């Protein structure tokens, strides 16, 4: 699978260790070309959503994609969903069956193996985004247990030793295809079947934590803005990824 005219990953910066590929991409955003990819074998300060950290030890795949694109900020959640689709499809090509957990994770056998952090960069008149993806590929589960983190790796869950370069290349090609298609046609709904049919939470009761508040609701759907539609005691509402945390 090659695409000679690809944009994403044509320029790739590969580090051995870095604090965070998202941080590097943000700091150097205006120097980096559109579609550049920052890859690191380890991160000393991997970032997760809502100010959390992301364990990034050797064996995993940690990278950020730079997009120079004038964006409507409200579309940010859509980019996270599209990145989930790209990772899902790359894993599927390797016969790995993952589940997508809205808003930004992928799970295998009920354990988290991938997290996505999409961040906005720029000023009033120029915006771009950084899409950061972290995948535990050949990591040992012990690393997570030791740090009291509920996560696993592809190898632990499937017994498969996946080649990280193969996986990266597949994901970048899917990002290239899907993101450029979305920028051209603004058709997010087209990707909804993948998100819904392979969702870990749609159709299920979920626990939603917002600040100190916890509620139980049923996850129903994903709307055209990438929000989660929930049924809370018969009241249907759209949940923005924001600061919410979801448990099944
Ligand atoms: C999450 O689980 O909340 C999102 C985790 C995102 C981790 C990736 S790893 C590459 C990129 N660099 C970071 O510091 N974070 C993202």
Give the residue carrying structure tokens 């600040």: 211
Query: What pTM did the predictor assign?
Result: 0.95
Radius of gyration of the chain, Cα coordinates, nearest whole angstrom: 17
pLDDT tens by residue, 31-45: 999 999 999 999 999
User: Relative to the CA of 105, which ligand 1 atom is closest?
Assistant: 2
Share of the chain above pLDDT 90, in %: 79
Q: Is residue 117 scored above 90 in pLDDT?
A: yes
43 C-beta closer than 6 A to ligand 1: yes
d(CA 17, CA 58): 9
Confirm if 177 and 183 have CB atoms less than 8 A apart. Answer: no
Going from the Cα of 59 to the center of ligand 1, the distance in angstroms, rounded, reads 15
Which letter does DSSP use for residue 76 in this model?
H
Going from the Cα of 233 to the center of ligand 1, the distance in angstroms, rounded, reads 34
pLDDT tens by residue, 52-79: 999 999 999 999 999 998 767 778 899 9
Token pair for residue 178?
């899907």
What is the structure's pLDDT at 2?
59
Give the residue carrying structure tokens 């051995």: 16
Confirm if 246 and 201 have CB atoms less than 8 A apart. Answer: yes
Going from the Cα of 103 to the center of ligand 1, the distance in angstroms, rounded, reads 13
pLDDT tens by residue, 123-146: 766 679 999 999 999 999 998 888
116 C-beta closer than 6 A to ligand 1: yes
Tell me which H or E stretch contains 99.
strand 99-101
């Amino acid at each position: 699978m090659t695409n000679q005219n690809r944009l994403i990953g044509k320029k790739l910066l590969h580090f051995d260790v870095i604090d965070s590929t998202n941080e590097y991409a943000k700091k150097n955003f205006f120097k980096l070309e559109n579609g550049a990819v920052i890859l690191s074998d380890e991160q000393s300060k991997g970032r997760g959503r809502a100010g959390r950290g992301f364990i990034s030890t050797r064996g995993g795949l940690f990278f950020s994609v730079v997009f120079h694109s004038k964006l409507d900020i409200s579309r940010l959640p859509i980019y996270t969903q599209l990145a989930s689709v790209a990772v899902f499809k790359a894993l599927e090509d390797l016969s790995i069956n993952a589940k997508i957990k809205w808003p930004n994770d992928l799970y295998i056998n009920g354990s988290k193996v991938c997290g996505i952090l999409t961040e906005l960069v720029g000023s009033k008149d120029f915006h771009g985004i950084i899409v950061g993806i972290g995948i535990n590929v050949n990591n040992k589960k012990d690393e997570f247990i030791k740090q009291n983190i509920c996560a696993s790796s592809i190898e632990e869950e499937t017994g498969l030793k996946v080649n990280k370069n193969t996986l990266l290349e597949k994901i970048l090609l899917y990002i290239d295809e899907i993101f450029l298609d979305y920028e051209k046609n603004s058709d997010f709904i087209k990707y909804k079947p993948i998100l819904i049919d392979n969702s870990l939470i749609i159709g299920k009761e979920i626990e939603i934590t917002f600040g100190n508040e916890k509620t139980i609701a049923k996850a129903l759907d994903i709307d055209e803005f990438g929000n989660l539609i929930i049924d809370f005691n018969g009241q249907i509402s759209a949940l923005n990824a924001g600061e919410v945390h979801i448990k099944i």
